[in-house]
Every structure is written in C-alpha cells, then in structure tokens.
Chains A and B, each alone.
Chain A
Amino acid sequence: MKIEGKKLIWKEYQKEIATDDYFYARSCIRQNFFPGSEKAFTRILKDELGKNLYDSQHHTSCTGIGYHTDVVPFETTMTVVARQFSLMQEAGYSNYIASCITSFGLYTEIIETWKHFPETLEKTREYLFKATGREFSIPNNLAHASDIIYKFRNEIAAKAKFRLVDKETGCPLKVVEHIGCHYSKMFPHKGVGGAEFPYVLTGMIEAWGGEVVDYPERRHCCGFGFRQYAIQANRGFSISCSRKKFESMAPYEPDMIITNCPGCPMFLDRWQYALSEMEGQTYGKNGNGIPVFTYEEVAGLVLGYDPWDLGLQVHQVPAEPLLDKIGIPYNPENKFKGANGEDLGQPDAPNFLKFYKE
C-alpha cells in the first residue's frame, strides 16, 4: 500500500465547502436510527465552532427513498427539492447542508440536471409556483454535513478531550470508514477524496488520532441498497452484503466503524446482531461486535460529550468496550434512562452478542 498514491488522488478531489451561515436540512430517518447524531451536529457547530446554523422546522423529506424505489416521479422530487431551496432562500441563506447522503446525492443530481437542462429548471420553477406560490434559488454551496465536520476536523481536534487512541498502549485505534454510495459514487468530484478512495471520514480519523483500516471489501455496499432492503424478498442480499464486509474486515481487528450515511450505520450495526443470532458469529473480540458510529457521534465522543446524550444506548452493538479502550467515562446506570431521568426499560439481551446492562 502506497499512501502517496492515495494522496495524489485526494488532491484531485477537493471541493469548496462554505465556512459559515448554513441552512440545515435534517434526514427523515436518521433521528429514528441514531437519535443523538443531528443534535450533536447542531451542538458542535453552534456551541463549539460558533457557526450560524439555521435548523428549519418546515422542510420535508427530499423524497429520496420514494424516488429511488420508483414511487415518486423525478418531476415531483425536483419540485419538493425546489421547495426546500425556497425555504433556504426565504430564511436568507445560500449554503445548504444535507444531513442525509441520499438527499445530498439527490440534490447534486437535481442541480446537475438543471445545469444541463435549463428547460427542466424552468418547468420546476413553474410547478413549484403553481403548487405553492413560491420561488427559489439554487444554493451557492451544497455540502453534506460530513463535509462540514471534515472541514473543521482540526478545530475539533484542538478542543478534543479524548483521542481515538488506546489509553493503555497509546496506539491509534484501528478504524474502518464507510462512505454512503450517494456521497461520491454518482458524482466523484462532489465528494472529498472522490469515489474510490474517499477522504472525508479518513481525514477526521487521522485528525482525531486513529488509523484507517484498508480491507479488501472496503468499497462493497453496506447492505442498505434500496432495492435490497425495501423489498422483503431481497433482504437476504442486504445481510449478505454486510456479512461480506464483516468477514473481510474482521482479520484486521478493527476497533470501530465510522460512517456518513443514514443507512450504513443502521445496517452495519443491526445486521451484526442478526448475524450473531443466525450464525452465532460475532466479529469483535470476546463475543463483542464491532461498534458502529456516525461521524457526529465520534466527533461528540472526541469532544467529551456524554455517550448517552449522543444516543449510543440505542446501538445494537454496544459501544462500551470502545469507550473503555479510549477511557471515556460513562455511567452504566444512565444507559436506559431518558433525558429527564425516567427509566425507559431495558431490551432483552441477545443470545450471542455481548450485552452491557446497567
């Protein structure tokens, strides 16, 4: 492996990322899957970095999942997206951040479509105006939320209370990074580092003290392919994809997985449980799995946020072994308590995957 070769590729794929004044569009599924991540993002941007972030209450789903499963026609999707851009314009912003990779890919696709087919842009303007009386501008800068954390990775590192380092040995943690397909596979130049050797998460891992694991199935799909999981009969493909990745990464003994898509952490986390129940197989040491995180969760951990405030208790693969390895303190008693201290109850322990109770 020649790191210089990767650096040459990374140089080719740099994108402009706005430095401040962002309009933030949340994901329609992430708050269910990883409920603390978007909260952590707004906290980091506002409280740690002092950025101006507009968190709109009025935007809708981008229709991405409906679009990719052929339920929503492209014209409708473009009109819905135009409405999001109209909200951005109305709020006085021109830098748009998408929390979701599917949305980011879809916004990119739509903006490119409008660029190449101005008549389609005019049609969309007409549809939006007829439906809502609204007008819109195309964002000056479109970024995925992971681009923003990547841009400020060194500022986060400067404020870090913890690093991605084994507290006993001082060795960097071995980290698997997994990029959502729609981040850069459709438009490599819209992603930091391109599609084949993306840098967006690698940059964070390096800045926060970890070491990236390059394993053979690094580029393989996580199992969130829309037609694999959305159609029940195809779900075997979904879990097979995840399994293929775990089998390939396990010999490298990774400490954790970091992702930047709504679906990847969901499937890489939950399928580890399903695989353990189906095959009795776990991919970490001593019956543990390989804990899976969003990049906001990892940024939050590095900054010293309480793991339960970050929502790590809803992960299927427990994060405790990793927290212990880094030396991040946590109170096991609070794991299944709500924000106001009420007891939320504990899930049943899996048969094989190690479970950490209070």
Chain B
Amino acid sequence: MNKQVAIIGAGIAGLEAASILDSMGFKVTLVEKAEHTGGHIQNWHQLFPDRRNATEVAQGIISKPLANVSTEFNREVTSIQPFAEKFIISAKDGWVFNADAVLITTGFELFDAKRKEEYGYGIYDHVITSAELETLFKKENGVTLRIGRTPSRIGLVHCVGSRDEKIGNIFCSKVCCVTAVKQAIELKELYPECEIYCLYMDLRMSGRHYEELYKQAQEEYSIQFIRGRLSEAAEDKSGKIIVKVEDTLLGRPLKMTMDMLVLMTGMVASAQTASICSSAGIQKDSDGFFKASDPHLYGNITGIPGIFLAGTCSGPKTISDTLSDARSAALAVQSYLSAEANN
C-alpha cells in the first residue's frame, strides 16, 4: 500500500485527513500555500459555542502523529491534471508533483469587506472585520488600544458578503451569526459598561448549543439584537462611526454612533478554486465553491475519479463539520486507492 496521496491545503481539513491517511499506511504529501499549517484557526481566539480556546483545538489537530507525511510550504497549487492514472500537481512557483490520488482541502477565504463600500472598511479607522477582532482579543487591551479609548458602544454587522445579491453572494456562510453572538459576549465581558448591538437579518442558530448561547447573550449579557441591515457607515469629527440602519421590527430608521463597527465577514471560495477546477475538469458550483458529484451520497467525491474534496472548499462549514468531512474524505480516498490496487 505505497500509494501517494497529495493533499492540497494544510488547514484543519488537510491535517485531519493527512493523519488518518497516514495511519492507513499511505504516503501523504501536504501542499500548503502559506509557510505554516493550521489555516484560519491560528488567528482565532475562542471558538463557538463553548468559548473553547482556539489554540488548544488547533494544537490538538496539528499535534496528531504524521509519520509518513511530508509538507511542502509556500506552494500555491494552480493546476491538477489527470495523466496516465496519476495526477500532475503544479504550483505557481514551478514546483511539480505526481500523486495517485488528490484530496483538495483549499478551504475558504474571508470576504473582502472593502467590496461593501458603504460600510467604509479600509477607509474609516474604526471599522474592522470579525477576524481582526479575534486578533485583538488575543492581545491584552487589544480593543482599547485599537480605538484609543474604552468603548462605550460597539456594533456587529451580520452577513457582510453573505446573503447579499448586490455583491453576488446569495449563500449563507453559516458560522457568522453564532460568531457574532460569541464575540458580542466576549466584548461585554471585557467592557461591562459598553452597549453591544448586533445588526442582523435573521439569526441562524442551527448548531447544537447555539440557541443557548444566543439566549445567554440576551438574558445575561444584555446584548441588543436589532433586525435590520446597515445602509451606510460614516465617520464623525472625533473618528466615531455613525451608522444608519433600519429596524425592520419597529419599522423605523435608526441612526447610532459607535466607537467601533465589526463586520462579520463571510466565507468565499478561495482564489485557487477556479484555476484548479479548469485544469482538473472539476465542476465549480454556482456559489464559487467546488461541486461534489453528489452532495447527498458522495459529498467528498468530484466528477473526476481520484480527486476528492474536504472541508470548506466545498462550501461553508463549522470546525467540527470540517473535521468530520475530512475523516469521511480520507475513507473515500482509501476506498478509491484500494480498489485501484485490486484491479
């Protein structure tokens, strides 16, 4: 069983699948575009819904034994070409590699909040993204230092780059609602006197214990939830952010001044997706993510035998869903390579 598997992307899906395929006896090569493994989770402070330390979870995944796994860093894969029952993988820097099977775990990218021009991200100093807020949580007094004062009012804007026809993303990113609730609680713990507002379209608390967290946010932390989409943000003379939003439950417009505005940026398909799809002949779905051959029965299998999918490269997922998906993909790879060996 000396078959070679290439895993494109060493985020949590790639690492989890690598560890399982390694334990099955395959030779595994992780191909990572960054200079370290772990992906987005490395930047996170706490995870929903239980507020677990993200580093602890990341370490739990990264520290799994990888005896026969090699990792290629700084290799951004641009094409996967089927050739004589193998696959030729090429990276931007000219690096080329052959494998018997390929597992794509290229993950997601965060929506570029600058595209929602009306929110002023990249223009107004105190408009930040949810990912940036996590990095501020990791530093002592991070939020205070960032805005230069103890905040008295902070707004969190849901669905930035998700469920938005104007920018062409009609899909839900699945994790932002509960992330906003978690971040609102964290902010309230840091600044008990600060008013925290979540500006939402509707709250999608679909995961286990999410609803409890939402209830806790309202009852114990007095987080204000306002149903309404932000129409615009502007900066006043003191650098505070003035937001205009319609409260669609009260049916009236609101104008509020915030010390900081946090944009809950959604997931979008990674930039590599398009070039990998066209080179390998894999289908891309209408949302820009990779398309599985059968999303119900074979969610890890592409239309090209020998190329598999795991994690958020095939659509937004939570961490636990991503890890389950990676394990499932590892079994699909094993099944494919075992059948090949028997032929």
Contact = CB atoms under 8 A, between A and B. Distances in A.
A195 B116 CA distance: 12
A1 B125 contact: yes
Contacts of B56: none
B50 interface: no
Interface residues of A, number: 19
Contacts of B121: 5
A218 B236 CA distance: 11
A1 B234 contact: no
A277 interface: no
A5 B123 contact: yes
Interface in A1-36: 1-2, 4-6, 8-9
A251 interface: yes
Interface in B92-127: 114, 117-118, 120-125
Contacts, number: 40
B118 A1 contact: no
Contacts of A214: 235
Classify chain B's interface size.
10 to 19
Contact of B123 (A2, A219, A251): A2
A9 B119 CA distance: 13
A5 B231 CA distance: 19
B129 to A, nearest CB: 14
A1 to B, nearest CB: 6
Given A216-B235, A217-B234, A219-B234, A2 B117 contact: no
B232 A219 contact: yes
Contacts of A197: 117, 123
B274 interface: no
B167 to A, nearest CB: 12
A5 B127 CA distance: 12
B125 A216 contact: no
Contacts of B125: 1-2
B234 A194 contact: no
Contacts of B235: 1, 214, 216
Contacts of B118: 196, 219
A252 interface: yes
Contacts of B120: 5
B123 A6 contact: yes
B291 to A, nearest CB: 28
Contacts of A215: 234
B122 A2 contact: yes
Contacts of A4: 122
Interface in A284-309: none
Nearest to A252: B237
A8 B113 CA distance: 13
Interface in A183-230: 194-197, 214-219
A265 B123 CA distance: 27
B117 A251 contact: no
B123 A216 contact: no
A7 to B, nearest CB: 10
26 contacts: A1-B124, A1-B235, A2-B122, A2-B123, A2-B124, A5-B114, A5-B120, A5-B121, A5-B122, A6-B123, A8-B122, A9-B123, A194-B117, A195-B117, A196-B117, A196-B118, A196-B232, A197-B123, A214-B235, A216-B235, A216-B242, A218-B234, A219-B118, A219-B232, A251-B237, A252-B237
Interface of A: 1-2, 4-6, 8-9, 194-197, 214-219, 251-252
Given A4-B122, A8-B122, 10 more contacts: A1-B123, A1-B235, A2-B125, A9-B123, A194-B117, A195-B117, A196-B232, A214-B235, A218-B234, A219-B234
Interface of B: 114, 117-118, 120-125, 232, 234-237, 242
Q: Which 5 A-B pairs give the minimum distances between C-beta atoms?
A: A5-B122, A5-B123, A196-B117, A216-B234, A216-B242
